Structure 1
Amino acid sequence: MSEPFVGEVRLFAGKYAPVGWAFCQGQALPISENEVLYTLIGTTYGGDGVTTFCVPNLTGQLPIGQGQGPQTSNRVIGQKLGTESVTLTQAQLPAHTHTLSVSSNPATNIGADNNFALATGPVAFYNSGLANSPTKQRLSPQALGSTGGNQPIPNLMPTLSINYIIATTGYFPSQG
């Protein structure tokens, strides 16, 4: 294997970081023992910049390139984005309607017929007291309402855990 550039990040399937490499787990390293790597990444990922600096933390993270792609905001090196779970609110859902066709006839079969919801069942589908309501709301409150439990849902793509390592020794990458 060729000698890496200091600061180069690679995927590694081993359980330990090889000599000259460190896991990308956000740990602080002493500047005095890693001056070349500190020169390249500074305190982008943390540290006090006097005695310590941190390597990137890629545990549970997905790296993306810096810069601005089509239809994306600018991504700055070291910036964290995203979340593991999301709770959607009504304000985040697009405006939409649901058409509901109903019949006041009793149900005569188990399945819906002609895409109609039938009125007979354990919960009253209609509210007969509102038949002449100026708002024309004729369905019972049990038939209408908000849905959902206001619980977060997972927001993770399928993943496989593997280690990221960063070279602490090797060639100094020249610019250009």
Structure 2
Amino acid sequence: WNGAAAPAGWALCDGNNGTPNLSGRFILGSGAESGLTARTLGQSGGAESVTLTEAQMPSHTHNYALVNAPWPPGDMGSRSQNVWRGAETAATTPTGGNQPHNNMPPFYVLTYIMKL
């Protein structure tokens, strides 16, 4: 409904007059189908924004290379040995701000109404 008040014989779905409170929500059909999560009548849930945790991130790696090269000429004298000193470990620098991100699809705002 594209109006601030419901027409005669109807009520806004705002939790009053026996209606569900659908303010700021979208409708999701009830039931269960193969491969889908079962939803029951009257169930609610969801969040406008979420903060991802490490467990929710896809498994991934960050590749890097260790160089096995001669010392640069003039650096602590002239050396023939390589920089490599055996197994090396390194960590990447963390990044990110741990801020929630918007989780809302494109939308158009209307008001839900119900016939009384």
Residue of structure 2 equivalent to 1:72: 36
Counterpart amino acid of residue 93 in structure 2: G
1:23 aligns to what? 12
Task: Give the C-alpha shift of residue 81 in structure 1.
Answer: 2.1
Query: Alignment identity in percent?
Result: 39
Which one-letter code corresponds to 1:96 in the other structure? Answer: H
Give the TM-score, by structure 1 length. 0.51
Between Structure 1 and Structure 2, how many residues are aligned?
102
Runs of 4 or more, structure 1, over 4 Å off, are 101-105
Bigger strand share: 1
Q: How does 1:7-86 map to 2 (within 5 A)?
A: 12-27=1-16, 29=17, 54-86=18-50
Alpha-carbon distance change, 104 to 16 in structure 1, aligned in 2, over 3 angstroms: farther
Query: Which of the two has greater helix per residue?
Result: 1
Task: Give the partner amino acid of 1:93.
Answer: M
The secondary structure found in structure 1 opposite 2:22 is: coil
1:161 and 2:112 are equivalent in the alignment: no
Deviations along 1:17-74, one digit per CA (max 9) or x if unpaired, are: 00000001112x3xxxxxxxxxxxxxxxxxxxxxxxx311111101011001332221
TM-score scaled to structure 2, two decimals?
A: 0.75
- Measured against aligned partners, the alpha-carbon deviations of 1:72-94 in whole angstroms (never above 9, x if no partner) come to 22100110021111110111112
Match of 1:47 in 2: none
For structure 2, the 5+ residue unaligned runs are: 70-83
Q: SS state of the match for residue 91, structure 1?
A: helix
